[in-house]
Each structure stands twice: as C-alpha cells, then as structure tokens.
Structure 1
C-alpha cells in the first residue's frame, strides 16, 4: 500500500539532518506518520541500535526525492503501476494499522513506491511507520446507510480526524438491521482495517461501550479517545523484588502514592541540613522490563475526579516505592547545607534508605504555619513514629516555611512568574458515587513550602545530569509566550484602564502584583478575586506549554531556558511514581553518580520519548478536564439548574464568555438562547461591548444591560436534551442567585496538591 502526497519540486525537498521528521497526511489518506532519518554517518553509527529497536531492517542510509541514496536508486524506488496492474502488496500484517493483530503491529514497514502525479510536483512514498501516533480507532455510533443496505453499516466517529467506516454486517450486532432504533444511543469502539478511498475507510467494531448518558460509559469513551491505557497490570509487570525495604511527608490528605519526603536538621554552626528524598523507582523499574515498557507508553498517571489510572503497578506506586510512614524505603536524595534564609552553600546527591516518621497532609502543615506559637495537640497531627514528638515536627515545618518564603522571594526578584488557576473538584457519595458538592483547589503556604524545595531539587539535578550527559539529558523547558496573542491581551486590558508590561516574565508578574494590591484596596474581596482570575486566564492563553526535550537535539543553551521559572536549566526529578520523564532522569543521575551504567540511546530516540511524554501529559490534562465537566453535568442532572455569580471575560458579536469563580470554570453564553429583544455589538478603543435589551415580562419592564470585560452577571447551568451535557444561560439583571439548585453550595475549600498545578 502507498500514500502519495505532494512534496514540491524534488530538488527542494530534503530530510532534516539528525532529526525526527513528521509528515501529517490528511484528507482521506493517512494521518500521523513518522519517518526517522539522520545523515548517512549518523544512521551508520546508530544502525545496530536502530536494528534492535525496529522490528524490520531499517533502510540506511536513506534519501528520498532528490535521488540522494547511498546505494542504487533502484533499490529504493519503483515505477508506479499502471491502472491495469495489481496494486502493490502491503508489507503490513492483516488487521488495523497499529493494532494488536500481529507481533510487530506497533512499528509497520511499508513497501517503498515513488509516484509521478499527473500534475505539479512529485509524490513521495511512506517508507516506514516508526511509531503510529493515532491509535486508528475511535468512539462513535452505528447507523444504517441511506440506501438501507443490509450488507454493511456506517460507523460515525466522534473524532473528526477519523473517517466514517464501512462495517461488515457480520461484525454488527445480530439484530442491528432488524431493530436499528435499539442502538440509536449506543456507543461503540471501532478500528480502521483498511483505507483506500477518500470518503470511507473499512473497519470493524471492537467494543460495545454502552448507552450515552451514563457517566461510566462517557468517561470510558473519553479515555479511549485520548489513548489512555486503562488495562490492569498483570503478574508479568511486577519486577522480582527483594523483601520489603523500605524524615516526613506532606501530601494531599487522601494521597496513597507518596513519592517525596523532606528532612531538616540544625547544625552546630546554626545552619541547616535539608534533604529532599524521592522514591527510588528506578531501583525496581529496570529498563526494558514489562512494567517499564508499559510505563514508557503511558508516560504519566491520569488523575480523574473519582479515580487515578496509575503509570505503575499499584504494588510499586502504593507500596514498595511509596514513602509510607514507619517503613524503611529506598530513596534518591538531594541534601543541602543552607542558611536560615535558604541560601545553598553545599549539596550532595545519592541513594539512601529513609524511614518517614509521619504522613502529614497539607492541612496539618497549614495549621502549624498559621499557629506558629502553639504546639499542635494530639488531635492536630497523625501518629508519629521513631521517637519524634509533635514539637519536633512543628519546629521543622516552621523552619522550612521560613526558608521557602525567602527562596520564593528571590525567585520572584529574578523574574519568576506564577499564573495560578484554581481547579474544580467534587465531593462524592462514596469512592465512585454521585457528586454531592463541589469546591476549588487553592494554593496555601503549605503547598508553597513543598513546591520551593521540589523546584530546588529539580534545578540541582538538571545541572548535575547535564554536566555528565550533555547530549542525553532529559530536561524541561518553557519557551516565551506567543507575542501576538500576548500583545492582544495587553491591549484589551489597556482598553479598560489596566496596564500590563509583557516584556519579560518578571514584568508580567510585577504588573499582576500591582493590580492585585490595587483591587484588594478598592473592591470587595470576592470581586477582586474574580477580576484577578479573569486577568490570569487572559494572560494564560498565549502561554506555550512547558515541554520535555533531549539536550542533544538543541544546539543553543539559551533554548533550554524555562520562561515561567526564569531559570536556565530545569527538569523533573521529584515524581517518578507518576511521571516517566522523572524515571529517565533518575537513571541518568544514577549513571552520573556511577551507581550503575546507562544504556545510551541516540539523542533522536530520547527525543522521541520526550515528545511522547509531552503528548501523553496533554492527553492526561484533557481527560481530567473532560471528567470534571462530565461530573458537573451529572450534578446538574441530579440537582436541577444551578445558579452561580459569574464575571464576563470575553465578548463576541453573538456570544460572551464568563468565568464562574466558585467553580473555577469558564463557559460560553449564546445570545440567541436569552430572552432579549435586541442586541447591539460595538468596539471602542479595542474593547468589545454588547448592549442587550431584555424583553419585558409580566412583572418586569424591559431593561438594557451592557456586557463588557469584568461585567458581573448571574448564570444558570441547565441540563440539555443531550445526556450528560449542560448549557450556560445568563439571567436578566437583578435575578437572584438563589433558586433551583441553590441548596447545592460549594463545600469547604481544600489545599491543592502542588505538583498538579505547577512545575514542581
């Protein structure tokens, strides 16, 4: 099989030297195909390693289009077959591309064919699919064809990137053609088996998920659509472990995978020895074992409202690796000598055996910070092991808190930027029950304490591994924001009298601090908080996501820089239980410290791993956000319309966006769904504005309302005809927040797990 695509004139088409080249072929052909190339010397150098990784002999050295090949051009090209000739044979196993039908289904070699199209340019062939990006499957509904055919049915996918599929009758439910109405609201999973025509592909049904409108079915569909592997780990995934082997932790109250702990000891000099101790996952998770291969595919744990889909087997993440109290545990530690303001004058890296004396929650640490002169009572802290007292714990928390405050101030002075956004969470009726309330995560000092020391550890480890492995280090960078959209946001804010200096991350931070201080002095607290949330949201949109990368693929050290943290080097080291890049970093550090040799891969292969981790991190975030909206829709179904105060954050000609502070979500309100008799859209000094004229009612006269940035409104979240979907409707001015669903108030706000909100 071959897939032609236009590459321009042959002399203009080149393959990048030593790089991963991605060709995205769309519009009814094939999508997400990758071909790995390097210079001739690079491919020859890495040929043995590539042969180990790829299931088929990788053609090397390879050039297409310009006739640059090391061997005979005839070895890599064939003439296009005439129309009467049979189509070229596929060099792929039967079944869907990238599926489980063959031993080598993840890496597929396709026969080389060069096609001369009848019009402009030259068409090139796909030579090798190194790693399928799209799973070639989708969630959707089964329908009959308009002609009433009973030989095949039409599968309509939800994913717009996937074509409609022709599904053979034998693959459909037995009674589908007799009673298609029974399946009108049923979701299926289907896989592509063949794609040779633009309009339709051929496929097969692989799974019946259930009826739309079920939280479990919709959630499973979301996970499948984003390629999240939800299979349970089996015995083959568990490494051969020594007897249980096994300082204090500060984590969310319900946390079960404790991957970081801290220690603090006063020295005779008056300075302190502070340690960050991270679960030594790499001791158990050896490279290439089944659990490692699965973790390298998952790349991270996925946090949903009602459950966590772990990256590692639960025996590892909740037991052997988790730094549980009163148990000896293996750790990778970074230990510093610091003064009372957190300035480092010595550091040490190494493997350790630690024994945590207690498992503090953020709430416990926060109470200690808020009551520095009171010793915690027995009911204020969890049990403490090892002969330490509540006073010992409290003293160390306060010392670390003071250091963290000084360290954070120095980072801010150096230009660090924080754009904290709260997160919607739910109170459930049991572990898997219906939502009974909601609250928002908000940062507190206890979160920031842990964050500062995790940041310090990540920066220290980044410098250490780069010193030993300048071409292979797994680092994390944050490129500057998109200049155009950021300037547009600044102009919009200037139009309402707010000055934002967007020259650097530091100037953005200073502008936000000045704005927050002014609003706190002038406005009621809730209005000040809501306005700051809108500004932070507007400034977050132009920000690029931080990304993992291999140091060997970037030529300039300036490209390593982290914009938001305003530091030259950064990595992730502190969460190996839930992030695979941290596992890679642990292996690099272990090799740098000569604990064990490093199995070195070419930088281009390491970069491929980094790219996959970036993609999976995004998928995990999208799944988490979609799950929150799904549970909110479920709550609306159960409780009826929910009224909430909101604030306008964007205005269009036929709609406007609002931010709901108590839910930490933004929603769009459509004008045609409102009881208004006229709408007028204008733009003054770059600021869009709507004038709505609400219809008179039996009890209320007609009234005008101006909708612009920061306008307070009341909205109602209401169920729609679609199952587990809700719309956001603005209420006429003066409408009370109390109403149907008003009894559903936000429950107590809680501390947020730091690592889920920022770069720690």
Structure 2
C-alpha cells in the first residue's frame, strides 16, 4: 500500500550517510530473492514498508525527492541532494524501481567509493539488456531495446531530440570521480499521471499487444488483445500511425514491462488536434466543460451590474484615466494601470487587478474546480481556462468602457520610482481603452506624435488620446528608472529566445513563425506588476506572518554553478556567478548576440524553479527570498483570472481588514498544488510550441538558419538554431559526407574534429572544429515520421565569427 503523505519531515538535513540495509526480497539479499524453484526472479527491488521508510527518513538514512528522468538518456535519473549542491544519480532503469518522471520517491544511497565505481543492487547494462533479440526475448528485454527495435512513428520527436537538458549538463560539467548514487525504495506520491500517448504493435502468438509510448522515459506496456480495437488483430498495419492514450494499471516487480489499458483513440499521429489532446491528457490538464454545478455559482441576472452595496464599500475610480496593456489577442484582461502627474512633480500610480474573489466564493463548486485546475494553460492555438469564460472574458475581464470590480494598489511615486505612500483597497474602475503592446510601443517610440482616433482602439471620449499617450510616456519613464535601480541593486534577468507563430484564422495551422520581441511596452507592464506583487507580499506577511502564500526563488545549485564557473574561466568567458546581480552584469556585458543567447541558456541550467509556499510552514525567513528579483518577500497578486495562487493572495489582502478562515496546512497544500500545476502548464506550453514547429517544418521546410554550438558530447553536439530559437542535436554518425570524427577534451572543454572528404580527390580531407560557441549553418528538415525533424549541417565550413 502506498501512502500519499508520510506525515513527517521527509528530507534529512544532516550529512549524507552511505550504508546498506537488508530488506526482504531485496536484490541485496540474493537468497531471499530467488523464491521457489521455477518462480520468476524479481527484476526490481521490493519496496520498503511505510514504517521502515519513516524510521529511515527520521534517522537521515534515506532521502526524499522528486524524480527527474533524462528525456534523451532515459537510463539516467536524478533527485536533489538534501543540501541542493548536486544531484543524486540513479544509474539505470532498475534503480528507479518502477517510479516515473515527477514522482516523489524515497532513495537509499548506495555505498560510495572514490575510484569512480559504486556498488549497485542489480546492474543491468545497456549491452546486457540488448544482447539477444530473438522473437521470444523481444517482449522481455528492458525498455532500452526500444530505440533499437521500435520503428513505430514517434510524433513528438521534437521533444526527444532537444539539446542537453539540466541533467546532461550536470553530468558533463561535474566530471568527478566521487558520485552520489542511489536506488528508489519507496514511492511517496505518484505525481506522474500514468497516462501516456503512443502506438500499438501487434505481437504474433501473444495474448497481448505492445504499447510503445512516445515518451521513452515510460516503459513499454502490455495491453490485452481483448482491450484493443475490434479490428486491430485482423489489420494491425492500419493502426501503425494511430495515436492512442494508455493508462498504466500495474507494474510488477518481476516484469520489465508495465500493464495497462487503452483509454482513448486520439486519431492520426501528426495532426495538431489529436496530438494536442494527447498532451493535455498525458499531463492531466482538465479541459472538460465546466459542470452545471459550477456554472450555477455564476451570477444569474444578466447583463450583470455592480450592486449598489459594492459601490458604497469601494473606492470609485471610474473617472480616472485607467487603461489596459495586453497582447492584441488577449481576452482575459486582469490588470490595468493609471498614472497622474501631481502638482509637486511626483506621480500617483495605480495597479488595478480584477477582483475575482468577489465572484468565486470560498469552498463552493466554482472555487473547488478553480483550485484543482490552479492555472490557465496557454497553448499555441487555444487556452484551457481556470475559470468559466463568463468570468475570464466578461465579468472579471477589465474590458474597456465597462464598470468592473478591482483590487487596487495606489502609490505616490517620485519620478525615479521611489515609494512615498501606498494604499491597498477594493475599488471600481472603468478602463478607458484596451491598448495592445504594439499600441503602447508606438506611443513610446513617438513621444511627440499627435495620434488620431483611427490609429488606436476605441477609447472613452472623457479621456483624450493625448492624455492616455502622456500617461503611457510617464509610466515608461518611471519604469525605466525603477528597472535601472532594480538591476543596480542586484536583480537578475536571463532572457531566452521564445518562438511565436502566425496562425491561419480558419484552420489554426501555422503560416509562419518568428522570435517574440520583448519591447519597452512589455517592460513597462512587467515593472509595475513586480512592484505590485512585492507590495502585496509585504502587506499580507505583515498581516498574516504564519498564513501568507508567498513565492520564493532558491539560489542556483552550488555545485553546478561552480562547475559552470570553472568551465567559463577555462574558455576565457567573463562570467561572474557569485550573485544574481553579478551574473546579470556579466551577461549584459557580452557583446556578441549569438554567444549571449548560448551563455544565457548555459547560465539558466543551474537555476532552480521558483515555488509557492506558506510562510508559517517554511518558517525560516532567510529562505523566503527571491534570488532573481533580489527581494526578501514576493508573491503573485496580479493575475487572479488565470492563477489560483493570486486568488488566495486577494483573499488574504481582503482578510487583512477582517477574519480569515484558513490554516497553515490549507495554504501549504494549495501552494504545493499550484507549484505542480504551474510546472505542468509550462511543459504543456512548450510541447504545444514544439508540436506546431514540427508541423511548420514539415509543411514549409527545409528551413535554413545559422546555429551556435551550445554543448559537445563524444559523438554529437547540440546547437541553438538562432532564427527559430529551437535546440537540436546533431549526430555525427548521421552527417552526410562525413569521413570520420574525433572527440577530445582539454580540461572541461569538450571538442569534436569533423573530417570531411574533399570534393577534389587529390586534395586532403577538410577538418572542421566543433566547440562551444562555434557558429555553423544547419538545415531543418522533416524526417518522415509525424512531427519529427532533424538538424543537418549545411556545409563543411564553420562561419567566420568574431567575439
């Protein structure tokens, strides 16, 4: 029986200990593992009991953490060490002990020796697993054989071929002889949905079919033929490119493969909607229609108007010049801005946030579903909303020329952005115009221009266009000063390239793609949202020091940062990783744009994720701080339409004037859930972008672009494709016309020498050096399998490049 919550401190705080514990049916105790004559030998170690795990964690003999499996080298997995200095390595599928990516697991460290070797419970090397591939044995070899025997289409190959992730970078940078290795002895919580997309493969003379997941980190799954489509047995070839959803129901200790049931037929692999549905189901994103019970929580009398009682209780700001700045296609407008010049030269600046808490009553059906979804999920072609569209796009959205309920924070600021006074309270606004980022940018770019009504969206005649224009210019000026002060004080921003798509309005297919440009108008809005979030954090923590929902950002993993610093020093790169501020300054001082993008990617790898938490549960205030923003207290307040964490913060702010019916346990439980859902949302968004780019390459390719090398392995290298902001791996063995290649290392610097046959047989072969920051030209072209594409070197010569 698995326990979802051990009810104790689940991570040891003391020094790591190395030991062996004899466990019943454990491979450590070989005699106990054999069982009766003829019985199957366990491949995986039996799990510890709940009591054994509890005692081991209390004594610091076991370690709990979230499992991360390398998406390209799925025999490699990691969990964080207790001190977060470096990760604990789980070497091989057996050591994962049937845990899947994202699961919360308990790990026992294996005895360590510093000669580079370490004892393992049951060593199954890749060569041993794939030594024999007879028809009978194919169904019983460990999943490493997938890449050798499986020729089924893998529609999201874009994911599999991504460049080095954090785990691979860690291993390349560490280059150490003493490694902490462990094995899973218990699964605390199965975070992975156990739902996967993939393909069915017919196995002659077997009572089951083989389900081959798209995600190689998930094992192959046996599906009883009785559970397969009715005509699968008679025409299995017709299903070769049909995408299915399968749910794992069991994974026995004596089997290399899991058992499961088909949940749904999605459709043709490579088509956007089936692939999108597969992503959503696999990551447990609830995209169902809202139930009648939920919809019954919404206002009944439509069109809805603000009750007179609320008008009496709130600050009336409807006559003020307040406006929104959002993407042109946005329909959930949850923040607005105002800026008024005062006679003394200072400014009254307001951030006005949709008061979602008015419409979402605590603990009703609407609140329950919003808490479960925890966030809206943004994909390339659609949004999966956290709240019903009546709220997202109408009643809560700060649409122009419409009275709306808001929660406001209003400051008196100096022109430099220094806070003189601050006010929090519930309010009523009427936005005078909905500006897009491009509209606001055009105002910033042309400060002297007189804009006409035809050049901008419809606006309130009570506020002339030039008044709105001046407010935007004043906000821009203040934001620039605030941003300069923030970075001077030690903030960090690592901007990574982001791919955006132009879609056909009818088919929603990609017509083009481009790198999203982060403009001054984006920075303007960001600066005031950061100010509002920080102010909200300070306010609620002062009112509720034990109950505040805050957001912290831990510093980067020390070991990874140290190794990266050493590598950069050897390469002659002037990067200072000693603090957030020093890193920001050193990355900004890099002159070469292309190299800067690769450096930004490298520097982002040691960074940890920001997390929601309850102040009373974490307790230790120094841990509250936000590393990148360099502030002691931070939270999310500005997007309650799309984030449940913000809704809780709104309730805390409102309760600072009254009672609050929350406990530390309530807040921490919801904070943890919001963390999980935010991680899922980010991954789903990435997969959606990769899906659309795969379609774009297939329909519009081959595509040519400059690319910069961002990592070198012994038989391949990773590139950042600069025109499209995608990361791809180039495999040397697959490069046409390549005669040979040689790998060598100088310190921590890994390099490849590619040897090309000369077109002139009388001339010597041409050598091409591949190292970090080498600039090359690549061609992206479809591979034939749905959604899969590869990067091929376009020429044998590296481009001339000056740093």
TM-score range (shorter-chain normalised) is 0.7 to 0.9
Deviations 1:398-441 (A, max 9, x none): 11111111111111111001101121011112254321211111
Deviations 1:270-303 (A, max 9, x none): 3221110001111111122222222212211111
d(CA) in 2 for partners of 1:202, 1:647: 43
How far is 1:315 from its partner?
0.8
TM-score, normalised with respect to structure 2: 0.74
d(CA) in 1 for partners of 2:644, 2:762: 60
8 Å contact from structure 1 (residues 215, 724) kept in 2? no
Deviations 1:330-369 (A, max 9, x none): 0011011112221111111111110000001111111111
Deviations 1:353-408 (A, max 9, x none): 10000001111111111111222233332111151111100111111111111111
d(CA) in 1 for partners of 2:705, 2:102: 42
Q: Which of 562, 578, 582 is the equivalent residue of 2:646?
A: 582
Find the counterpart in structure 2 of residue 757 from structure 1.
Answer: none
The size of the alignment, in residue pairs, is: 630
Find the counterpart in structure 2 of residue 315 from structure 1.
Answer: 390
Over 3 Å counting, the alpha-carbon distance change for 1:632 and 1:389 in structure 2 is same
Over 3 Å counting, the alpha-carbon distance change for 1:146 and 1:23 in structure 2 is farther
Deviations 1:189-228 (A, max 9, x none): 2234455554255433221111222222222212221111
1:681-720 matches, within 5 Å, as: 681-697=743-759, 702-720=765-783
Q: Which of 626, 651, 665 is the equivalent residue of 1:604?
A: 665
Deviations 1:58-78 (A, max 9, x none): xxxxxxxxxxxxxxxxxxxxx
1:415-426 matches, within 5 Å, as: 415-426=490-501
Deviations 1:476-522 (A, max 9, x none): 0111111222222223322332211111111111212322xxx2xxx
Deviations 1:165-204 (A, max 9, x none): 4444443211222222222222222234455554255433
Over 3 Å counting, the alpha-carbon distance change for 1:724 and 1:159 in structure 2 is closer
Between 530-539 and 423-432, the greater mean CA deviation after superposition: 423-432
Between 352-361 and 236-245, the greater mean CA deviation after superposition: 236-245
Note the residue ranges of structure 1 that are not aligned, 5 or more in a row: 36-122, 520-527, 738-760
Over 3 Å counting, the alpha-carbon distance change for 1:659 and 1:233 in structure 2 is same
Q: Pairwise CA RMSD of aligned residues?
A: 3.0
Q: Say yes or no: does 1:219 pair with 2:257.
A: no
Find the counterpart in structure 2 of residue 142 from structure 1.
Answer: 200
Find the counterpart in structure 2 of residue 41 from structure 1.
Answer: none
8 Å contact from structure 1 (residues 153, 167) kept in 2? yes
Q: Which of 668, 671, 677 is the equivalent residue of 1:616?
A: 677
Find the counterpart in structure 2 of residue 183 from structure 1.
Answer: 239
Q: Which of 417, 433, 455 is the equivalent residue of 1:342?
A: 417
8 Å contact from structure 2 (residues 776, 798) kept in 1? no
1:9-48 matches, within 5 Å, as: 12-13=55-56, 27-28=97-98
d(CA) in 1 for partners of 2:466, 2:624: 43
How far is 1:132 from its partner?
5.5
Find the counterpart in structure 2 of residue 206 from structure 1.
Answer: 263
1:113-512 matches, within 5 Å, as: 133-149=191-207, 152-159=208-215, 164-194=220-250, 198-199=254-255, 200-238=257-295, 239-241=297-299, 243-245=303-305, 247-430=322-505, 432-512=507-587
Over 3 Å counting, the alpha-carbon distance change for 1:158 and 1:692 in structure 2 is closer
Deviations 1:450-476 (A, max 9, x none): 111101100010011111211111100
d(CA) in 2 for partners of 1:707, 1:384: 56
Deviations 1:520-573 (A, max 9, x none): xxxxxxxx2212111111111111111111111212110000000000000000
Find the counterpart in structure 2 of residue 728 from structure 1.
Answer: 791
How far is 1:245 from its partner?
3.8
d(CA) in 2 for partners of 1:222, 1:723: 15
Between 642-651 and 192-201, the greater mean CA deviation after superposition: 192-201
Secondary structure of the structure 1 residue equivalent to 2:585: helix
Over 3 Å counting, the alpha-carbon distance change for 1:295 and 1:671 in structure 2 is same
Note the residue ranges of structure 2 that are not aligned, 5 or more in a row: 4-45, 68-94, 106-183, 307-321
Find the counterpart in structure 1 of residue 742 from structure 2.
Answer: 680
Find the counterpart in structure 1 of residue 708 from structure 2.
Answer: 647
8 Å contact from structure 1 (residues 29, 196) kept in 2? no
How far is 1:661 from its partner?
2.0
Q: Say yes or no: does 1:551 pair with 2:615.
A: yes
Secondary structure of the structure 2 residue equivalent to 1:332: strand
Secondary structure of the structure 1 residue equivalent to 2:594: helix
d(CA) in 1 for partners of 2:589, 2:677: 37
Deviations 1:100-152 (A, max 9, x none): xxxxxxxxxxxxxxxxxxxxxxx9999xx9x7633333223233345333xx4
Find the counterpart in structure 2 of residue 118 from structure 1.
Answer: none
